[in-house]
Amino acid sequence: MKYTCALLSVAASLLGPLMFGLTLGFTGQTIDTMQNNVTTLDGTPIEIGPDDNLYVFDTSTEASLYGSLVNLGAMGGAILLGGPLIEKFGRKWVLLACSPCFLLIYVWQALAHTSWHLLFARVLVGFVVGVESVVVPTYIGEVSPTAIRGALGACNQLSITIGILLAYALGLAFRTDAGSTDPNVTESTFCNWRSVSWTYLIPSTLLGICVLFVPESPRWLAQHSKVEHATRVLLRLHGSKSAAQDPEIMEEMKAYKETAERGSEVTCRSWQGRVSRALHALGECKTQLAIVIM
């Protein structure tokens, strides 16, 4: 297949928005258990076991904060960190760094026993999600050949939605009676959110492994005066042996050389450009955010 390298590179990067969706959807099946707010169909409370470690939020305020802090963290990560980091260190390496961040945060969450530990983890994962929401759309746009750029760009949204769906599925899969002696309890009454957190280590690890083998964005390489390297990457992404055989590559190479001569693109270096890109990335996810909030 002509665009094999481009397709594989985009597929690897899509593990980032998958983690975004998993993070957003986490509370859908877990929050009632975390605040001991599970009821029967007629509204009768079902008390969780007194010795169980799944009940961590004593008030509805703490539970609400846990659900919303990820959005606050995501805004901070996208606006304050995402743009500057991907311009300085490159798209690939910033996305790669998200992998150990997700790993550490979800290990922390799985082992947490106090509400403030969980709230802190939620803010941190929000920052990582915010950075990811900037780097992945940028990377996809810069490594995708023109002929399939639109289709691959839409995959970012699709991956987020799949992540939300998967989060709900995992919440349904890891059900427990939590040691409750309540007469209304069943084996599927409560959600073992700690087990769900542990499963998140799998896509977090895959993100790091897969992104390790993808090429850096050719546009970023050109911006940093690495035109020859950018050309080699471009040939790989387009599945071409020679730039002379592909007019699209010739056109992009010309643009890269002009970029290298200028030293940088003003719109990307300016704070206005960074904020605009970050807000655009978050705006693309408004549907998913609305689903989680509701």
Residue 205 lies in a domain: yes
Residue 254 lies in a domain: no
Distance CA(88)–CA(81), nearest Å, equals: 11
Average pLDDT over the chain reads: 87
Q: List, for residues 22-79, the tens digit of each pLDDT value.
A: 999 999 999 999 999 999 888 899 988 775 789 999 899 999 999 999 999 999 999 9
Residue 169 lies in a domain: yes
Range of the domain at 66: 4-215+270-293
Residue 29 lies in a domain: yes
Instruction: Count the domains in the chain.
Output: 1
Higher model confidence: residue 37 or residue 163? 163
Closest CA to 25 of 17, 36, 13: 17
Q: What is the pTM of this model?
A: 0.85
In this predicted structure, which of 46-55, 141-150, 169-178 has the lowest mean pLDDT? Answer: 46-55
Closest CA to 191 of 183, 182, 180: 180
Q: List, for residues 184-228, the tens digit of each pLDDT value.
A: 999 999 999 999 999 999 999 999 999 999 999 999 998 888 888
Q: List, for residues 74-119, the tens digit of each pLDDT value.
A: 999 999 999 999 999 999 999 999 999 999 999 999 999 899 999 9
Residue 230 lies in a domain: no
Residue 227 lies in a domain: no
* Domain CATH code at residue 34: 1.20.1250.20
Burial class (CB in 10 A: 0-12, 13-18, 19+), 261: exposed
Residue 255 lies in a domain: no
Residue 253 lies in a domain: no
